Structure 1
Amino acid sequence: MAHPVPSDYASRPVAVIGAGTLGRRIALMFATRGGVVRVVDPSAEQREAAVTFAERTIEGTVKNLGLGEPGVVEASADQDRAVEGVWLVVEAVPERLDLKQTVFARLDATAPEDAILASNSSSYASRLFIDQVKLPERVLNTHFYMPPTTNALDVMSCGRTDRAVLDFVKKVFPEYGLHPFEARRESTGFIFNRIWAAIKRESLEVVAEGVSDPEDIDEMFKLNFGTRVGPFRMMDQVGLDVVLDIEEHYAAEHPEYPEGPRRVLRGYIDQGRLGAKSGAGFYDDYTKTPVPS
């Protein structure tokens, strides 16, 4: 069944479900052309942090990326109201399959029929979210990395996504400073995340075996690849609980993967060291609950 794409998207809002580290960044990017983006989260603290982040960074982002006029990021606790009239919804809730399935069933029932329903899941294929979706032709993965500094994203069909929807996303997202790349077949971890997952896993295994520590691995990584940060600092930015959720998912599909990386992550999480968002992870030089820059 063909699905109509929203031709009047420039005059309609976008909704982002989830105001965490990535949700607020996704909202920022879709607010770079003068429009309205509504961020939904049950946590008042997260909603406030998302709006504050957008207010602090929107003008610089628009200028740096050469985009339009700064838009507005609004916060809401009411998902049904937030999706009224939208042309796009991006789900960015925690990496729990049951939660994502619930979110998509509700979005399918309440969002406009021509609205595109996208998942920012970092490891789950959107095929897994459509059992209760009546219009799966509009559902797909759009996996973001760390905008506005890392603006690539993976685009992947749910297996029933209309080709027009995929082509529309690939054409329109660059207007918001984003660079979509299509995974041409279903792939757990999409394109770059599969490569990044292998780097994370082996880095953690080196620590698990007592061969080295996070600081030395990061320093070697930076020197050898010319990057500003290494894999452990990057995991701190994502959140070690999120990293563990993703690694558990990979391990469920690949029982041959070593247990060491998950054991290392659990050790830090059990101490309350979740990364930058908690003030400490592999490193302890963060301010608790920072507004990301």
Structure 2
Amino acid sequence: MAFTVPTDVENRPVAVIGSGTLGRRIALMFATRGGEVRIYDKSKEAGEAARAYVAENVAEVAAGIEGGFPGRASVTDDMAEALAGAWLVVEAVPERLDLKKSIYGELDRLADPDTILASNSSSYPTSQFIDEVKHPERVLNMHFYMPPQQNAIDIMSDGHTDRAIIDLLERELPRYGVYPFEAHKESTGFIFNRIWAAIKRESLEVVAEGVSTPQDVDRMWQINMGTPAGPFRMMDHVGLDVVLDIENHYAVERPDLPAGPRELLKKYVDAGHLGVKTGQGFYDDYA
């Protein structure tokens, strides 16, 4: 079925569903051209924390984007209110397939007919959670990394996505300081995430085997690659619970993957050491 792409996008809000580590960063990027971003979260505390994060950072980030200027973020626990008039919805809820299926059924029912429905899923292709969606032609993956520092995006069709949506996003997203790259066929982990998954998994494995420590792996990475952080510090920033969810998903598809990385992550998650968001993960120097 053909889809009528949204128009007047500069004057319409973007909605972000979920206010976690990535949800708030996605909201930040879409607040850099003077418009409104609506953050939906059932938790008032989490939503307000995300709104405060956007307010604190948007002026600096917008200043680094050509034509950018600070917009605003609002928070609601009412899905219909969040979606009203939005040209784009970005879902950023936890990596649970049942939750995503339910969310997409609700988004498809409540969003305007020309609203694009995009998933920030780190590992699930959208083809796996459109069971309750009547208009799959407006659904696609749009996976962010860690904006505003890492600003590449994977975009990937759900198998039904109208080509005009991908073309529109390739034109519009760079105006917000983020840059889309299309996966031309369905790929678990998309493009860069597949490469990163292999690096992260082998890093975890050498620690699980007792060959090295998180700190030494990171320091070697920094020296050799010239980056400010290594794999373990980056996993702490993502959230070790999120990293474990992603690894569990890969393991379902690829049973031959080593169990050591998942077992190591589970020890930290079970202890409540999830990284930056809890103050301790592989490192314990987070204020």
For the superposition of Structure 1 and Structure 2, which TM-score range results when normalised by the shorter chain?
over 0.9
The reply to whether residue 87 of structure 1 matches residue 87 of structure 2 is yes
CA distance in 2, matches of 1:46, 1:266: 24
Is the 1:67–1:177 Cα contact (8 Å) retained in structure 2?
no
The reply to whether residue 48 of structure 1 matches residue 48 of structure 2 is yes
Is the 2:123–2:246 Cα contact (8 Å) retained in structure 1?
yes
Render the CA deviation track for 1:204-226: whole Å, top value 9, x for unaligned: 00011100000000000000100
Is the 2:279–2:286 Cα contact (8 Å) retained in structure 1?
yes
CA distance in 1, matches of 2:260, 2:126: 29
Is the 2:66–2:175 Cα contact (8 Å) retained in structure 1?
no
Code of the aligned partner of 1:283: Y
The reply to whether residue 106 of structure 1 matches residue 137 of structure 2 is no
Is the 2:65–2:175 Cα contact (8 Å) retained in structure 1?
no
Correspondence for 1:245: 245
Code of the aligned partner of 2:63: K
Is the 2:156–2:182 Cα contact (8 Å) retained in structure 1?
yes
CA distance in 2, matches of 1:286, 1:178: 27
Q: Normalised by the size of structure 1, how large is the TM-score? A: 0.97
Q: Normalised by the size of structure 2, how large is the TM-score? A: 0.99
Is the 1:122–1:143 Cα contact (8 Å) retained in structure 2?
yes
The reply to whether residue 269 of structure 1 matches residue 269 of structure 2 is yes
Correspondence for 1:291: none
Deviation at 1:67, TM superposition (A): 3.4
Render the CA deviation track for 1:37-73: whole Å, top value 9, x for unaligned: 0001111221111111111100000112233221101
Render the CA deviation track for 1:236-284: whole Å, top value 9, x for unaligned: 0000000000000000000000000001001111111000000100000
Code of the aligned partner of 1:273: H
Code of the aligned partner of 1:133: V
CA distance in 2, matches of 1:150, 1:208: 28
The reply to whether residue 150 of structure 1 matches residue 142 of structure 2 is no
Correspondence for 1:59: 59
Counting only pairs closer than 5 Å after superposition, residues 1-293 of structure 1 correspond to structure 2 as 1-287=1-287
Count of residue pairs brought into register by the alignment: 287
User: What SS class does the counterpart of residue 65 from structure 1 fall into?
Assistant: coil
Give the superposed CA RMSD.
0.7
Render the CA deviation track for 1:76-111: whole Å, top value 9, x for unaligned: 111111101110000000010010111100000000
CA distance in 1, matches of 2:138, 2:270: 39
The runs of 5 or more residues in structure 1 that have no matched partner are: 288-293
